[in-house]
Chain A
Amino acid sequence: MIRLLVLALALYLTAPPAGFAQSLQDVLQTHRDEVLKPGRRSVGIVLDDLVASGLPQALPFLEAWRDREIVQRDSDGLFFRARKQSLYDLDTGEVIGVFEKNNLTASRPNGGVRRAIANALVQFQMSDPDIVKRRAAVDAVARSMDASQLEPLAASIDAEADAALKARKSRLVSMLRALFEDTTNARVEAINTLAGDLSVDVRAVLNKVLASEAGVAAKLPDNENIARVLEVGEDITAENAYAWLVEAELAPPLVSNAQIRDALLTNINSGMVGTLPVAALNTEAARALAYDQLAAEGLAPPRVKEAERANAIAEHVFYLAYTEPDPAITDAAQKALTAIETKVALSQTVDLGLDALSLASIYFLAAIGLAITFGVMGVINMAHGEFIMMGAYTGFVVQQFVPDYTVSIVVALPLAFAITFAAGVLMERLVIRHLYQRPLETLLATFGISIALQQLAKNIFGTQARPLTSPEWLDGALAFNDVIAISYIRIAIFALALMFLALILFVLKRTRLGLEVRAVTQNPGMAASMGINPDRINMLTFGLGSGIAGIAGVAIGLYAKVTSEMGADYIVQSFMTVVVGGVGNVWGTLAGASMIGFLQKGIEWLYPSNTLAAQTYMILFIILFIQFRPKGIVALKGRAAAD
């Protein structure tokens, strides 16, 4: 196939196609079924024939096929290109009719086939003047890593105008050389140029070079490139080791309980197996005894004794051997990989740290409103989560009216604040105001409001999750290297969290309102006699806390989902954040959120396959933490600390 492709390439570049009597349609018709319903493994022959035909129109056809624009007319089985309601002839490229869905069947090449088509296109596109096509070609090479592509890729480097693409191409060439170059020196040299590159595909190349196979023998073979010798009990379990021996036919297989049972079953003789009655065979020991009798009579293979097993294992050596026979190459690759992996491990730690930081900022953002209403005012607001939800739905509704995502977010943030601020003030005036002396009952009343709001949201917006789409400039991720990356939306949430931290600190510590808030929380009676209106202050503080929850809702909706139940997901978490951090202190909430975020990521790292376990253990830890430090991380001292 490779030779064919090269030949075709030469023909395509030099000779005009006039000499070929065949039309593209003819080629397609010989593979009619395969063109209509292509499969990854079987499409190769069509592609070979197309390339071999040397037809210039094969190139646009392949592109159209990849883009799913090829249709077949049901009446005569001919293929056309369908584009913008018109049908084009594949050979002449002229419009021959309108697109009518009813008598046409579309060919839908799947992902695997499209990749094969992209590979076939590489030859033609590697030096295409259109940079988009060149990029696609390089992508295709990177995905397939086929030896045949080394040559055209290497040839195209010098002429590459785009610097970034050129760097990518030369990196790819090094990777292909490391895999497919003929001489040891050339491969080692290529491998050395890859050292220090953290990307997944470079590691993939090195790991391919270092692919190894497990082996077992009586003594270590000289003719293989041994990666390492495995210690039984440390590197592999005795069971596995013996299983390898059995697989290599170096030891007899173990007799399983099921096999014992089967052997006994086939040898029942008038209610007896050997000298034992069937009714007595209800323990494993009895069954083993009966089986050994059968084995002694030659009716079944003998059981492998423990000692024999241990002997067999001791007499053999277990090892991993590289499939690459040349130790010079594997040594170089191993060296390069070790260096890379140290860096990767470091980067992964940093990446995990970033994830934890991001999670902490999300918890912080969700909890910061509570830090004010619960932490400063001491009001348990179970409807806090529903304020978050209201904010998120505000964002959704705004996006229905303002189609531009950037503008809609700019509108939604203050609007969410305004709406939840108003809701908060309303709730404070109507309900909470009457319950300041009864904190536990506030909990119940706000819980009632919470379920009512949740159900209202369901009645209005339905139970289906609603889309809240972030603006384009928040798409994608900021990548520091190939391992450390964090999505822009998370960075934005982080920035938002910082902003609110600063804002609240400023309001509480530096403004008249903050002074009054602190005065009212510490001693409402005294504050009132100093001319502060506690009603107004409570109302504003509660509104502020609720408003921030609304903004948090927009942010959380952007990165996750908008449903009527999203608030409930955050409420318990948020209360714990505030309590762990220490009530009555914004810094405490920050400390609480950071601790929970980092802890959760830490436990997730320990239990990579079970996120639920991580959450469970984190909550258990929080419970214990509060038991031993009831006032939280940042405990208030003095009078303010009293309940």
Chain B
Amino acid sequence: MKLTTSALALTALLGTTAYAAAECADPIKVGVLHSLSGTMAISETTLKDTMELLIAKQNEAGGLLDCQIEAVVVDPASDWPLFAEKARELLTVNEVDVIFGSWTSVSRKSALPVLEELNGLMFYPVQYEGEESSKNVFYTGAAPNQQAIPATDYFLEELGVEKFALLGTDYVYPRTTNNILEAYLKDKGISEEDIFVNYTPFGHSDWATIVADVVALGADGKQVGVISTINGDANIGFYKELAAAGVSADDIPVVAFSVGEEELSGLDTSDLVGHLAAWNYFQSAETDANAQWVSAWKDAMGEERVTNDPMEAHYIGFNMWVNAVTQAGTTEVDAVREAMYGQEFPNLTGGTAVMLPNHHLAKPVLIGEITADGQFDIVSQTAEVPGDAWTDFLPDSKVLTSDWKELGCGMYNTETKTCVQLTSNY
């Protein structure tokens, strides 16, 4: 399978290059900075395929500014310093007009100084911990208030959860998200004793004790819910142990922020029916645009492949960028950035995504229950929620705001009315 797909992608790529050279003196180049090897290849290869599909479709539709778009794919190999190196290479050697890339926060933070130094432009498609707004990055994934907070509200309102277990892999996204959630839950009147926090290493597999601890939380008669920021492979062992311990979604619901259709394909989901995930997109969303996208994806990649949230983020990001370039009439970074603000594009889940001046999107938040076939039943969909770069629930970032259009600053202190810094916090 992999064989044919790679070959397909390759021919698509070669075809594009040849075509572009014939038409256009200065072809438009799009850099794709996703790991194709190493630990993150599992997630990021899909996004590289997404970008190639999007670019091929755009070229079929006539390209951009009368030019064909050429994809420049590099492999940072899940090696964080390589993200900086490859970003520099893309911007200075390949001279790309825009980069779509990164998955983990640390890889983004690695590429950030280079992007800011060389005034590049990157679209970052993954849900993340927020607390950042770079002039040179558009964040098309969810900020905490577009995923974690609505999911927690759902737990409080709809499931009546009174006691929370925040389980996460030990790295920045879970740490920051859990800090925000702890502060948020305390605001909502949940006392400190009712919040249990645990961090495990990447790829953790011995979950028996932790699951037993979570079950034991119910001993004081409160409804327990688990908010999971467990990353990647570790989820498999976790859900297997949950199933073995007979923990059903009715007893202790689990909502996950890092488990999507891709992750579930490594699991037998029959024992997990009813557990939840919060995203801005599910493959099961019932709209015409989504049906088209899913079938285009399956046609290109194979019937058993699934779509997921970061793919939609790239879908929106790429289309917005195309529209912004068309509007600006150039691919020059500053002009495109100006044109990006207020840019609108229909979501695959219905409604319209809007690019805000803080470089985040306004997107709806969806909560889905896992079904037996590895998909999600959407049980809740909000209106578009504007992404907030600096969370309102931590005292230090409460006073900060980002507005590149009016204030020209990504880290503006509203109390002292000064711009803390123009570069980002990396």
Contacts and interface: CB of A to CB of B under 8 A. Distances in A.
Given A463-B42, A610-B199, A203 B209 contact: no
A476 B220 contact: no
Given A68-B377, A351-B212, A612-B170, 5 more contacts: A203-B219, A464-B265, A476-B244, A562-B266, A610-B170
A561 interface: yes
Interface stretch (B10-18, B122-130, B247-255): B247-255
Contacts of B37: 458
A298 B210 CA distance: 55
B31 interface: no
Interface in B275-313: 276
Interface in A599-629: 601, 604-605, 608-612, 615
A352 B209 contact: yes
Interface in B176-206: 196-201, 203-206
Nearest to B198: A609
B380 interface: yes
A108 interface: yes
Contacts of A469: 268
A111 B250 contact: yes
Closest 10 A/B residue pairs (Cβ): A204-B221, A465-B266, A487-B244, A560-B205, A463-B42, A561-B236, A207-B220, A110-B379, A112-B158, A203-B219
A315 B200 CA distance: 45
Given A113-B158, A205-B221, A465-B42, A609 B266 contact: no
A467 interface: yes
B366 to A, nearest CB: 12
A612 B377 contact: no
Interface string B263-274: 001111001001
A492 B378 CA distance: 37
Given A475-B244, A561-B233, A608-B198, A467 B219 contact: no
A143 interface: yes
A354 to B, nearest CB: 8
A612 B199 contact: yes
Nearest to A460: B2
A115 B250 contact: yes
A610 B171 CA distance: 12
Contacts of A49: none
A306 interface: no
Interface in A452-499: 458-459, 462-467, 469, 475-477, 483, 485-490
B219 A200 contact: yes
A465 B262 CA distance: 10
Interface of A: 39-41, 68, 108-115, 139, 143, 145, 200-201, 203-205, 207-208, 348, 351-352, 355, 358-359, 362, 458-459, 462-467, 469, 475-477, 483, 485-490, 556, 559-563, 565, 569, 601, 604-605, 608-612, 615
Given A200-B215, A203-B219, A485-B245, A111 B158 contact: yes
A113 B160 CA distance: 10
B172 interface: no
9 contacts: A110-B379, A201-B221, A207-B221, A459-B2, A463-B45, A559-B237, A561-B205, A612-B170, A612-B200
Contact of A358 (B39, B208, B222, B380): B208
A202 to B, nearest CB: 9
A464 B1 CA distance: 13
A238 to B, nearest CB: 18
Contacts of B243: 475
B159 interface: yes
Interface in B216-239: 216, 218-222, 233, 236-237
A569 B250 contact: no
A455 to B, nearest CB: 8
B244 A488 contact: yes
A322 to B, nearest CB: 14
B237 A467 contact: no
Contacts of B268: 467, 469
Contact of A604 (B2, B209, B237): B209
B24 to A, nearest CB: 35
A139 B216 contact: no
Contacts of A611: 170, 198-201, 204, 210
B237 A565 contact: no
A348 B208 CA distance: 12
